[in-house]
Amino acid sequence: MRPGDIDVRELEREQLELSKKLNLMDRIPVDEIKLIAGVDVTFTDIWKNPTTGIASIVVLDFKTLKPVDVVYAQKEVDFPYIPTFLAYRELPVILEAYKNLNVKPDVFMIDGQGIIHPRKMGIASHFGVITDEVSIGVAKSKLVGEFKEPENRKFSAKPIFINGELRGYVLRTRKNSKPIFVSPGNNISIESSVKVVVKTIKNDYKLPEPTRLAHNYLQVYRKKLIKG
């Protein structure tokens, strides 16, 4: 599938319809979370289309941040990368991994945007709405929005706005490191999303432990898959 074959207007309409189902209130208090999952996606070859998408979901004990379950899935992907439509490329393989879970996490933390998105439908929100799970988006780079740079100290944060509306926070998780972009996916508030991320920063790593481990496990799995 090529970008020119895709009806972007139709996908925008679909995202806007999904955004009407968003819940940005806390389904579960932060101090009652027991299990949290990190979700990440990679590809056997990002330059090919179609290619094979690979997803990992790592479930951690929220208090100890120790893994209790790890699952993977792989699926052919032919939807190209188009900014603001990442879910259409990566979500199908995430949902395959989601089916393989042996335990039920209270929260899913996804490598990507939540409501810091033109139509509030980053991949974390899209996942959260169609599964009705609690989800948080943690992105490594800016997609859209206006913000001031956080101070150069651990856990300094600044709000990020889209058309004057608060959508999340830009959070510096360690000194002398680029900040990350935190926002609700679904069934959680902006404030609680940031609290959860702060509680899952381990040692002096930049990324929260759920998505950091999901990425690390995924890279090992990808290498084994490619080697056959």
Structural domain boundaries enclosing 43? 3-227
Q: What is the CATH number of the domain that holds 42?
A: 3.30.2170.10
pLDDT band at 1; cut points 50, 70, 90: low
Q: Do the Cβ atoms of 155 and 224 come closer than 8 Å?
A: no
Q: Which amino acid is at 150?
A: P
Mean pLDDT of all residues belonging to the chain: 96
List beta partners, residue 161: 146, 166
Q: Region 29-57: what's the mean pLDDT?
A: 96
**Rounded CA separation 211/218 (Å):** 10
For residue 89, the model assigns a pLDDT of: 96
Q: Region 38-54: what's the mean pLDDT?
A: 94
Tell me the per-residue pLDDT of 179-195, one tens digit each, with 9 for 90 and over: 999 999 999 999 999 99
Say whether pLDDT at 4 is over 70. Answer: no
Name the percent of the chain lying above pLDDT 70: 98
Say whether pLDDT at 32 is over 80. Answer: yes
Please name which of 176, 193, 217 lies closest in space to residue 139, comparing C-alpha atoms: 193
Please count the structural domains in the chain.
Answer: 1
**Rounded CA separation 161/168 (Å):** 7
For residue 208, the model assigns a pLDDT of: 98
